[in-house]
Structure 1
Amino acid sequence: MKMYLGSINDQVWDVNESDYVILDPTNLTYQDKANKQCNTMALNTIYNAIDSKVFEQIKDLDRASEVWKRLEETYEGTAVVQSAKLYILKDKLTSFKMKDDESIPKMFHRLQVIVNDLKALGENINNDDISHQFLMCLPPRFKILRMLIIRGGLKELTPNQVLCDVMAQETYHVEMEGVDRD
């Protein structure tokens, strides 16, 4: 029987995600053998992707689904932990401000880290919301640029494009005024 690579990968993932049951270990069916092989492939893939310290946490487990669940709980946390992380990150995003001694690129990076962490937890955040939050945190000297960018429409700009516009304005200001503000 000829199998395609896509279907093998799907079978490996299915064994990893939903586990399998062998009813009679002394009389394995074709499906039992395939499930065991997929489990072995999944385990080998996981083992090759982790370091020895992480391996120590999972070496007692025989099934890929159990390994995957333990790794999820260890690194992503339980649903309660994820919910708490989400709550904290949302609070950080809504109360986000530029620090007094912080440069604009550093502030933008700090904002991006919060946004990426939120996205990793499944939160849907629009680019225009990120750009808006970034613009609202800028010092007062960016008031006119902020208004122009917002009037022009944030939906058409990525956050990085907004950062570029702000940095262009800052560079122009420094060159014309001879003052370094950040």
Structure 2
Amino acid sequence: MFTGIVEELGEFLRLDWHGEGGVAAIRGPLVSSDARPGDSIAVNGVCLTVVIADGDGFTVDVMKETFDRSALGSLRPGDPVNLERAATLQTRLGGHLVQGHVDGVGTIMARTPGERWDDVTIALPPGMSRYVVEKGSITVDGVSLTVVSVSDSDFAVSLIPTTLELTTLGRKGVGDLVNLEVDVIGKYVEKMVGVRA
């Protein structure tokens, strides 16, 4: 479980393919400082399991399902990545409950720079809009954000200076892909209400 508060802007180093999956190497001195094999680290919002931690970086196995459901396959060596270690019982919940299980990939459709923040519109995959509500939470590349507005095909968020400076979202432009995770509570509510109907 994560909070959607990015701890470190890391660097994607390489992906070594092994059949349909691969082993990814990522630099992130902060999140690697206490990482051990088996620990979970969110990489652009995708929960991955540490295989090797070597001081300033770590490696993870990435299976086909992860490539099919996320934008991790589009990363290139040198690309920045948002990193967050799994939450503990002592962690402040500054964002919202994030699983690191990507629901789909969105595309940045528009970006309007403001005096202090940017307004960004992101296209939603089909069927996902029912889980996105105005003033609700959504995770974009591992960043917990508040939805400003939503339609059947897209939603908008505003990025504050801290988000622009400390996450990949400050560097993404129109046409770029982003990992999306909707608030899991909405999915559980839908399932429970559906069972009773």
Q: TM-score, normalised by structure 1?
A: 0.22
Which structure has more RCO (C-alpha within 8 Å, separation ≥ 6)?
A: 2
Question: Which one has a bigger Cα radius of gyration?
Answer: 1
Q: TM-score, normalised by structure 2?
A: 0.21
